Amino acid sequence: MIAVTAFWVCLLAAGYVGGRCYGWYSLRRACDDGRSRGTYRLLAVVGLAAVIGLAFGGLVAATERALASVHPALASGLAAPLAWLPTAAGAIIAVLVAYLGVFPYARERRDLEINATTAVGQLAKYLATIALFVVGALVPFTALVAASDPRPSLIPLLFLVLVLGSYAWLQHSVRLSQTVTEPTPDQRRRLEVAADRADLSAAIVGVIPGRETEIAGLYLDGPFWNRRAYATDYALEVLGDDELAALSARASAADDRRLLERRAVVTAVLFGLFLTLTVWLSFLGAIVALAVAGPLLLRTLQRAEFAADRRAVEAVGADALARAIEAGADTTDDRTRLHERLAAKPSRARRLEQLRER
């Protein structure tokens, strides 16, 4: 454990120094739009390095042995997914430290008013909820691996559990990962007027502080029979009534096309395919299957996103929707061709290109 601790401390230092160096470099080479060209890639590298280093360093095995020694019930398989929690916590802390290093430069580059405490807190909340979801998804995997002779009849049950788990996460993802406040009377009035113009059936229940990060958006969560809508305060500040109506029409189209349910099914199928083939075939076979099925399924999600854009255009027109999309910050715009093909949502540039062709 001394070696694992030393590795983690060194990774914290390297991540912070790497963040400072990258922030300085990005500030000097900032483009006209002031967008980051690799902050999320840097954080992803630090996070993966932390997970791989801590896991292969023995932290997962040591935690599992410690849990099994606490109570016999934990030795029956429950200890396996829980043993990943310290590793996830260590990776999250490493990512946050790296983000602390790059954040001052990002704030200066984009002229933001957000402070470091708020920014790190928002990122920590999001990463923690993702980690809990992934650890929970490991439960059926460990149950299958622990079985001496896994039965193929368990495959439908595995997929059902994954679909329900993915859908439960998407239903609560906004409230779990964002700070939601009650809208002011003026904000509620504007949102309700926009929702009425777009026939948005989801209830307006909150406002997300997006002003500090310059994000103008309208988000949905909740089950299909009780959708909830959340707008960022930045959207209410920079968008006119027509653009707000366009965002509402886009959200209504996404609801009509059941985009949340589609994402849950695709996530569950990909994860379930990986787990099933790993247990019944091999890890290499699972990787090959994901390399083939992943782009195909993710492409269907992108097509559904474009279809929702087209449905919104029929309601409010292409110009209003294009202005609304242009006003919102999209951190996924700077993509390679491979990243674009493997993304569940098309980039803002591709969406605008599709709208201009109409």
- Residues in CB range of 74: below 8 A, 6 or more apart: 67, 68, 82
Q: Which long-range contacts (CB under 8 A, 24 or more apart) does 112-115 make?
A: 112/212, 112/213, 112/214, 113/211, 113/212, 114/212, 114/213
pLDDT of 33 > 50? The answer is no
Rounded CA separation 290/270 (Å)? 7
pLDDT of 358 > 60? The answer is yes
- Identify the weakest region by mean pLDDT among 21-35, 218-232, 243-257: 21-35
Tokens of 239: 């968008």
Q: Give the model's pLDDT for residue 307.
A: 92
pLDDT of 34 > 60? The answer is no
Q: Give the model's pLDDT for residue 301.
A: 93
pLDDT of 146 > 70? The answer is no
pLDDT of 269 > 50? The answer is yes
Q: What percentage of the chain carries pLDDT values higher than 90?
A: 15
Can you tell me the mean pLDDT for 146-155?
Answer: 65
Give the pLDDT confidence of 116-130 residue by residue, as tens digits: 787 788 788 888 878
Give the DSSP H/E element, type plus range, for residue 326.
helix 318-327
Tokens of 76: 């029956």
Task: Name the more confident of 245 and 75.
Answer: 245
Rounded CA separation 200/258 (Å)? 14
Residue with token string 């959340």: 230
Q: Which long-range contacts (CB under 8 A, 24 or more apart) does 29-37 make?
A: 30/109, 34/109, 34/110, 34/111, 35/110, 35/331, 35/333, 35/334, 36/106, 36/109, 36/331, 36/334, 37/334
Identity of the residue numbered 85: L
- Residue spans of beta strands (DSSP E) within the chain: 203-208, 218-221, 228-232
Angle, vertex CA 266, rays to CA 264 and CA 268, nearest 5: 65
Burial 253-286 (b: 16+ CB within 10 A, else e): bbbeeebbbbbbbbbbbbbbbbbbbbbeeeeeeb
Give the pLDDT confidence of 275-285 residue by residue, as tens digits: 778 777 777 88
Tokens of 289: 């299957």
- Identify the weakest region by mean pLDDT among 147-156, 203-212, 223-232, 237-246: 147-156
Rounded CA separation 59/332 (Å)? 33
- Identify the weakest region by mean pLDDT among 14-28, 240-254, 301-315: 14-28
Give the pLDDT confidence of 72-119 residue by residue, as tens digits: 666 655 666 777 888 889 999 999 999 988 888 777 776 666 777 877
Task: Name the more confident of 175 and 80.
Answer: 175
Residue boundaries of the structural domains of the chain: 2-146, 185-356
Q: Give the model's pLDDT for residue 164.
A: 79
Q: Give the model's pLDDT for residue 108.
A: 74
Instruction: Provide φ and ψ at 204, rounded to 5°.
Output: -80, 110
